[in-house]
Amino acid sequence: MLGIMKKDAPVYLLMSGFGVFMPALDAFLHGLGANSVVTTGMWTLILVIPAAQCEIVERLTRGYRFLRALPLTAREIVWAKHLWPLTLVSLHALYAGLLFAALAPAEKVRHLSRAYFVLNGNLALLAAAVLLFFVFRFGLSRASMTALIVLFVVGMIALQESVLHLLKSIVAFGTWPVLVVVTSLSFGAYALLAMASTRAFEQREV
């Protein structure tokens, strides 16, 4: 399982590097205001893209045929593919939250960012889990995967401002108990989708 994760690591780490560096640069150059919440949160969402990139490579190289010939169970393969998005999206949401908690001048922005990053992190996790489910259930083609991910990113970019405005008007959303419940539900959904992917992968011919 670690071998598969190591193989995929460069793709995830490159994108995560940008996800860490760009918000920090933004904070350094412009300071952290309400607008930075949107740009920083985008990086959490963008962490879904490496998942699609890795699957496109597996598809092109018939990688799963190679992996299924080795002593690896379907569960190990599927979870190896789920652990990177889970880890990096969670860490990035945490990083963004801490960045704003430490550097944002206004309490209102800190409060808003917390809710926003948790929401984006959960959205990114669900998007990754759904994408991976489609991959393991149907063996998505490169074109379908690219289309899905482009639709997701474009959709999210288009909706970011609206989500921010919505959040501003629902300040109550940002309380800790609500965030914990929403995140727990999201983690639970992620685990359920990973289990469904494992089952689908066990049944599917690679």
Partner 1 sequence: MEARNLVKIYREFRLDNVSLSVPKGSIKGVIGPNGAGKTTTIRILMNQIRADGGEVSLFGLAYPGKEKEIKNRVGYVGEEQYFYPNKTVGWTGRFVAQCFKRWDENLFDSLLMRFGISRSKKTKDLSKGVKVKLSFAIALAHHPELLILDEPTSGLDPVIRRELLDLLKESCREEGKSVLISSHITEDLARIADYVTFMHQGRIVLEAEKDDLLANWKRIHYKKGALGDNLVSQLAGVEHHMFGSSGIAKNYQALRDSLADGIAGGDVKVENVTLDDVLITFVKEA
Dist CA 204 CA 161 (whole Å): 40
Our CA angle for 78, 6, 74, nearest 5°, is 20
Residue with tokens 């780490």, as numbered in its chain:
13
* Cβ atoms of residues 64 and 58 within 8 Å: yes
Q: Residue 112: which of 182, 153, 165, 183 has the closest Cα?
A: 165
Residue 65 near partner 1 by CB under 8 A = yes
Least distance CB 20 / partner 1 (angstroms): 26
Closest approach of partner 1 to the CB of residue 25, in Å: 31
Q: Does 142 bind partner 1 (CB under 8 A)?
A: no
Q: Is 73 in the site for partner 1 (CB under 8 A)?
A: yes
**Cβ closer to partner 1: 57 or 91?**
57
Q: Which is nearer to partner 1, 76 or 182 (CB)?
A: 76
> How many residues form the binding site for partner 1 (CB under 8 A)?
20
Using CB under 8 A as the binding rule, whether residue 61 contacts partner 1 is answered as: yes
Cα torsion 27, 32, 36, 37: sign:
positive
Chain residues that interact with partner 1, rule: CB under 8 A: 2-3, 7, 57, 61-63, 65-66, 68-74, 202-203, 205-206
